[in-house]
């Protein structure tokens, strides 16, 4: 979902907000709306090229008192231009 959101938001004529909305929709469809609350977008550079990065942070079920409680994944895509 993070990679697809980044690709969608990085398209010429699209926006980071559209990428976030796409990632949220994919997460909600796959595992439910409770897991789509921590989706953010930032601009960055990848290999010297401007890019959009979508981060999805979702809660993990607690299996005891030890271990991580969240999972974070990121997806990046080069920003398209019409130059």
Structure tokens at 64: 């005891």
- Alpha carbon of 68 to those of 31, 33, 55: distances in Å? 19, 21, 17
pTM across the whole model: 0.88
For 67-79, the pLDDT digits (tens) are 678 889 999 999 9
Give the confidence band of 81 by pLDDT, cuts at 50, 70, 90. Answer: confident
Instruction: Report how far apart, in Å, the C-alpha atoms of 15 and of each of 35, 51, 52, 54, 74 are.
Output: 22, 12, 9, 12, 17
With residue 58 as reference, give the H or E element that holds it. Answer: strand 49-59
Cα(48)–Cα(2) distance, rounded to whole angstroms? 21
- CA gap 55, 6 in Å, rounded: 9
């Amino acid at each position: 979902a993070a990679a697809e959101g980044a690709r969608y938001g990085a398209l010429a004529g699209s926006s980071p907000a559209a990428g976030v909305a796409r990632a949220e929709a994919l997460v909600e469809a796959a595992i439910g709306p409770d897991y789509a609350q921590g989706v953010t977008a930032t601009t960055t550079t990848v290999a010297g090229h401007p890019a959009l990065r979508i981060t999805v942070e979702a809660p993990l079920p607690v299996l005891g008192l030890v271990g991580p409680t969240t999972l974070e994944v990121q997806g990046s895509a080069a920003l398209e231009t019409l130059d």
